[in-house]
A and B are shown apart, each in its own frame.
Chain A
C-alpha cells in the first residue's frame, strides 16, 4: 500500500506529538509517575532546604549528643531513640540527629547524582553524535575506547583512584568525575545508534545536500530528534549514579566524613543492625525511594516520548 496519506491535515490533537506539553499530559495520566515526581520534588525540596529544616528541628548533623546514648553507645529509647526532638532517632556512638543526617545526606546524594549524570550525558552525547555522524577512523577509534571503558572493572578502578588522588583535591568533585567518567560509554552507544539511523533520513540528507555544514546539521537536525532519548536516558541514569555514590561511600571511599552521606550511614549501620535496626532503615528507605522514583519516572517518560505508543 502507499504511505499513510490522508486527504486533509490531521488535527494536532489526534497526531501523536512529542511536544513538551503533550508529554507532560501523558505522564500525568500515569499515577505511579505522578507519585514518583512528587517523591522526587519532596527530596529536592528537602535537599535544598536542609539548613532551614535543621533550624526548625533545632538539630545539626555535625553536633555530637552523648546524652541521647546509653552506656554501650546505643541510642536510648525505642526505635533507635525516635522522639519529638529526634524524629528519626540518633546515630549510635555519636548521638548525632539521624533526621538531620538523612536530610543533609539528600544533598550529597542528589547533588553528586545529578552532577555525575550531567558529566556522563555531556560526554556521551558529544561522543555519540560525532562518532555516528562523522564516521570513518574517528568513529572506529572512539568506539574502541567506548568498548574498553565498558569492559573495565570500574568499581575497582574507582576505589583505587579515590585512594590515590591527594586528599587536597575536593572529594565530592572527584566522586562526580569518577562516576561520571564511567557512565558516559553507555550513553555514547545509545546516542551513536540513534544518530546512525537519523543520518540516513531524508531530512538530514536534504540538509547536507543544500550545503549545510556539519555543526548546523548536528545542532538543528540531529539534537532536536535525540532530545527525547537523552531525556529518558538521563532520568534513568540518575538513580544508578546515586547508587554508585552510595556504594563508594559504603566502601568508605566516597565523600569524607563527617559530611553526611546515605551510603556511609548504611555502611555504618550494618554493624548495628541487630541492636539498632532503625539506623539502617531510615537512610536505606531514603535511598530506595529516590532511586525507585527516578526509575519509575524515567520509564513513564520513555513511554510518553515513544511516538509508536498509542495515545491512551
Chain B
C-alpha cells in the first residue's frame, strides 16, 4: 500500500461561537482507493470535506491538522490553497445543473479550467486536452459536448462533464460530494462506474460523500460513518458492512429498505395467485382507464394509455425514472392536471365530468402527501391549522370537533398533540412529513396519493415514515398510490407494482412477481442499476449491470 496522500487528524470545525459541527474527525486518502464519508444530513460530512479545500464560509473556525503531501493546509495562505484546488484536488458537486454557468458552453468552461493552471499548451493543444478529458469521462463525442450549453445536456452528461472539469488540472485526489444524489439510478450506476474506473486508472485518491449505503457498498474501499459531527465507525467496507461494531451503523444499515427478496420469504406463484384473489374481493376506490395527459397544446401527451385500479386497503407502487410521468398520473387522480383522454373514476364518480362543487367534494375523497416536506406546509400557519384546513374547507364538524380531530390525527402520526400550535419551521423534515400525512387523512379519504413521500428524508427517518404509512393503512383502510423512484421503498409497501417508462406502462403485476422475476428489459435494467447495501452482493450486481449497459448501448 502506498503512502497516504492526504491526512486529516483531529479536525474540528465550528461556525462562530456555536457548538462545533465537526469534532475529532480523522481520515486519510491513499492513491487508487475510495474513502466514503457516510452519514445522515447534519452529520458534518460535507463540512469535513470542504474544509480540506478551505471552501468554508469565512466565519468557520477550523482546527486540527490537514496535511496534503506533507504540507499543512489548515491556516495556509490563499495562494497555497489555490494551487491545491484543481491541480492537487478536484471537486465534483451534487447538482450538476447548478455547477455550470448556464451562459457559457461546456467547452469554454472546461477550457478555462485547463488554462487555470499553467500547462504550456497552445490553442490546439488545449482543445485536444479538453477532448481527451471529455472522452475519459465517458462522453464519446467531445465535439458535440464542447459546443453544447448546460441546458442542452442531460443530468448524467453534465455530471460527466463536471468530472472532466475536475480532472483538468491533473489532480491526485478527487472529492465527490453526493455526486449521484440528483440522478436516476441507471445514470447513477454509470457515474459510479466512472469514478471507480478513474480511481484505478489514474490512481486517484477519491473522497466520496454520500448518504446512500448502497453507493458506499458499490464503490468504496473504506468507509467512515459520521453522526452529528462525530466519527462513529471507521474501517474497510467489507468489515463495516459485515460486522458493524457501532450501534448507530447497525441502525443505519437496518433502516435501508431491502431491494432483493429476503431468502426464505420468496413468494411462489401460488401466493401471488392468492394475492390477486384478495385484491379482487376488495372494493375499488379509484380506476384509470386508458388515460392520457397532455400539458402543452401541441406535441405528444406526457402519459398515455394508462390503466390502473386501486383497491381499498391495498397499495399500488408506481415506479420509473424522472420524466417517466409517474407524478403526472398521481396528479391526474387528484384532478390537478388536464386529462385529455380516457376516464378517471374516484369512488365511482367520473372525475373528468365533475365541475365546481362536485369536483371539490370528490377531491375530499383523495389525500395527497408530497415529496418535499419543506414546501408542503404553509409556513405562515400553525400545523394544527394546516391539518384542520380540509375540514374547514368542507365545513366538517364544529370548531371543537376539529380541534379534537387534529389531536387524534397528530397522535395517529405519532406526534405530540400539543404541537398543534407550532409552526412548520420548528419541525424537522420527518416531522413535517408526518404532519402532511395527518392532513391527507383528515377527511378519512378513500384514496391516498403518496408522491415520493420519503425521497427527501434521511434513511432512518424514511423507515419510520414508511412504517407509519403501512400501519395507518391497516387502521384506516385507504387505498394508496405510492409513487417512487426507489424500488426498495416500493417493495416494502406496495402489493402491486406498475413500471413506467416515457409515459407508458412497461410492466405490471404483484410486487414479488415484478421485482423478483421481471419480464421486461427495462425493469431488469432498473433493478440491476439500484445499488444494494451489501458489498459482496453489490459486486455481483455490478457485473450484471455492466452486461445490461452493454446491451443498452
Give A contacts to B, CB under 8 Å: 1-12, 15-18, 201-203, 205-213, 216, 220-221, 224-225, 227
B393 close to A212 (CB less than 8 A): yes
* Residue-wise interface mask of B (375-387) relative to A, using a CB-CB cutoff of 8 A (1 in contact, 0 not): 1111111000010
Question: When A2-B458, A224-B381 are in contact, do A206 and B336 touch as well, CB less than 8 Å?
Answer: no
**A residues in contact with B425, CB < 8 Å:** 10, 15-17
Shortest beta-carbon distance, A2 to chain B, in Å? 5
A6 to B442, CA, bound (A): 26
Set of chain A residues within 8 Å of B430, measured between Cβ atoms: 5
> Which residues of B in the span 109-156 have a Cβ within 8 Å of any Cβ on A?
none
In the bound complex, how far is the Cα of B334 from the Cα of A210, in angstroms? 8
Q: How far is the CA of A2 from the CA of B360 in the complex (A)?
A: 34
Pairwise interchain contact B457-A211, C-beta atoms closer than 8 A? no
**A210 vs B396: C-alpha distance in the bound complex, in angstroms?**
13
| A to B CB contacts below 8 Å, 10 in the list | A1-B181, A2-B456, A3-B373, A3-B429, A12-B426, A203-B377, A210-B364, A212-B393, A220-B378, A227-B380
* Closest-CB distance, B413 to chain A (whole angstroms): 15
> Which A-chain residue is minimally distant from B391 (CB atoms)?
A210
Task: Decide if B457 touches A206 in the complex (CB within 8 Å).
Answer: no
CB of B361 closer than 8 Å to a CB of A: yes
A212 to B374 CA separation, bound complex (whole angstroms): 21
| B458 pairs with A5, CB closer than 8 A | yes
* Docked-complex contact B42 and A5, CB < 8 angstroms: yes
Q: What residues of B have a CB within 8 angstroms of the CB of A1 in the complex? A: 41, 46, 94, 177-178, 181, 211
CB distance from B430 to the nearest CB of A (A): 6
Between A1, A3, A210, A224, the greatest number of chain B beta carbons within 10 A of the residue's beta carbon is seen for: A210
* A208 contact set on B, CB distance < 8 A: 336, 363
Bound Cα distance A167, B96 (Å): 66
Q: In the complex where A2-B458, A3-B41 touch, is A202 in contact with B370 (Cβ < 8 A)?
A: yes
B182's nearest neighbour on chain A, judged by CB, is A1
B390 within 8 A of A: yes
B336 touches A9 (CB 8 A): no
Given A1-B41, A3-B372, A205-B336, the answer on whether A210 and B429 have CB atoms closer than 8 Å is no
Residue from the list A3, A11, A207, A213 in contact with B389, Cβ < 8 A: A207
Complex interface: chain B residues within 8 A of A210 (CB)? 363-364, 366-368, 389-390, 393, 439, 442-443
Q: Which residue from chain A places its CB closest to the CB of B369 in the assembled complex?
A: A206
Give Cα distance in the complex from A55 to B41, angstroms.
68
B416-449 with Cβ < 8 A to chain A: 422-423, 425-431, 436, 439, 442-443
One of A9, A205, A211, A224 near B422 (C-beta < 8 A):
A9
Contact A209 B336, CB 8 Å, known A16-B425, A202-B370: yes
Does the CB pair A3–B393 fall under 8 Å? no
Name which residue of chain B comes closest to A208, CB basis: B336
Within 8 Å of chain A (Cβ to Cβ): is B69? no
List of B residues within 8 angstroms of A17 by Cβ:
423, 425
Contact (Cβ within 8 A) A224 B378: yes
Q: Do A211 and B376 touch (CB < 8 A)?
A: no
Bound together, the chains give a CA A5 to CA B381 distance in angstroms of 20
**Residues on B with beta carbons closer than 8 Å to the beta carbon of A216:** 392-393
Query: DSSP class of A's interface residues: helix, strand, loop or mixed?
Result: loop
In angstroms, Cα B379 to Cα A9, docked, is 15
By beta carbon, the residue of chain B nearest A221 is: B378
Output the least CB separation between A208 and chain B (Å).
Answer: 7
Q: Which residues of B contact A225 (CB under 8 A)?
A: 378-380
A5 and B372 CA atoms in complex are apart in Å by 11
> Could you say which residues of chain B place their CB within 8 Å of the CB of A6?
41-42, 428-429
Bound form: Cα–Cα A1–B334 in Å: 30
B362 CB-CB contact with A under 8 Å:
yes
Q: What's the interface size class on B, roughly?
A: 35 or more
Which of B211, B334, B436 has its CB near the most chain A CB atoms (within 10 A)? B334
Q: Is B289 an interface residue (CB 8 A)?
A: no
Give, as a whole number of angstroms, the nearest-CB distance from A176 to chain B: 31
Cβ contacts under 8 Å, B423 to chain A: 12, 15, 17
Main secondary structure of the interface of B (DSSP, over half): loop
Q: How far is the CB of A44 from chain B (nearest CB, A)?
A: 29
Cα A11 to Cα B425 in complex, Å, equals 9
Q: Which of A5, A209, A221 touches B429 (beta carbons < 8 Å)? A: A5
Interface flag for B461 (CB, 8 Å):
yes
Known: A9-B426, A210-B364, A210-B390. A205 touches B370 (CB 8 A): yes
The answer to whether residues A211 and B394 also contact, given A5-B42, A5-B461, A203-B378 and a CB cut-off of 8 A, is: yes
Task: Tell me which of B42, B372, B373 contacts A7 (CB under 8 A).
Answer: B42
Q: Closest residue to A307 on the B side, CB-wise?
A: B379
Return B94 CB to nearest CB of chain A, in Å.
Answer: 6
Residue from A8, A9, A203 within 8 A of B376 (CB atoms): A203
Nearest-neighbour CB distance to chain A for B93, whole angstroms, equals: 10
Q: Which residues of B contact A205 (CB under 8 A)?
A: 336, 368, 370
Q: A3-B457, A12-B426, A212-B390 are in contact. List 18 more A-B contacts (CB 8 A).
A: A1-B178, A3-B372, A5-B41, A5-B428, A6-B428, A9-B422, A9-B426, A9-B427, A201-B375, A206-B368, A206-B436, A210-B390, A211-B360, A211-B362, A211-B364, A211-B393, A212-B393, A224-B381
Smallest beta-carbon distance A13→chain B, Å = 10
Q: Which residue of A lies closest to B456 (CB)?
A: A3
A179 CB to closest chain B CB (Å) equals 31
A218–chain B nearest beta-carbon distance, Å: 13
The smallest beta-carbon distance between A32 and chain B, in angstroms, is 24
A208 to B389 CA separation, bound complex (whole angstroms): 11
A209 touches B393 (CB 8 A): no
Q: Which residues of B contact A5 (CB under 8 A)?
A: 40-42, 373, 428-430, 456-458, 461
Identify the closest chain B residue to A19 (Cβ).
Answer: B423
Q: State how many angstroms separate the Cβ of A305 from the closest Cβ of chain B.
A: 12
Say yes or no: A2 contacts B381, CB within 8 Å: no
Instruction: Give B25-57 as 1s and 0s: 1 = Cβ < 8 Å from A's Cβ atoms.
Output: 000000000000000111000100000000000
Closest to B42 in A: A6
CB within 8 Å of A: which of B523-547?
A: none
Chain A nearest Cβ from B425, distance in angstroms: 4
Distance A203 CA – B374 CA, assembled complex (angstroms): 10
CB-CB under 8 A from B376, the residues of chain A are 202-203, 206
Contact of B375 among A9, A203, A213 (CB under 8 A): A203
- CB-CB under 8 A from A3, the residues of chain B are 41, 372-374, 429, 456-457
- Determine the distance from Cα of A225 to Cα of B378 in the docked complex, in whole angstroms: 8
Known contacts: A1-B46, A208-B336, A211-B364. The answer to whether A202 contacts B41 by CB under 8 A is no
The distance in angstroms between the C-alpha atoms of A11 and B458, with both chains bound, is: 21
B361 is contacted by which of A2, A8, A211, A221 (Cβ under 8 Å)? A211
- B389, A212: Cβ atoms closer than 8 Å: yes
Q: Nearest 7 CB-CB pairs, A to B?
A: A5-B429, A211-B363, A211-B360, A224-B380, A202-B376, A202-B370, A210-B390
- What separation, in Å, do the CA atoms of A17 and B336 have in the docked complex? 32
Q: A210-B389, A212-B360, A220-B389 are in contact. Are A11 and B429 (CB under 8 A)?
A: no
User: CA of A62 to CA of B422 in the docked complex: distance in angstroms?
Assistant: 58
Kindly provide the distance from the CB of A30 to the nearest chain B CB, expressed in whole angstroms. 20
Complex interface bits, B306-325 against A, C-beta within 8 A gives 1, otherwise 0: 00000000000000000000
Residue of A nearest to B46 (CB): A1
Cβ proximity bits B255-275 to A, threshold 8 Å, 1 near / 0 not: 000000000000000000000
B380 touches A2 (CB 8 A): no
User: Nearest Cβ distance between residue A17 and chain B, in whole angstroms?
Assistant: 7
Contact code string B287-329 (vs A, CB < 8 Å = 1, else 0): 0000000000000000000000000000000000000000000
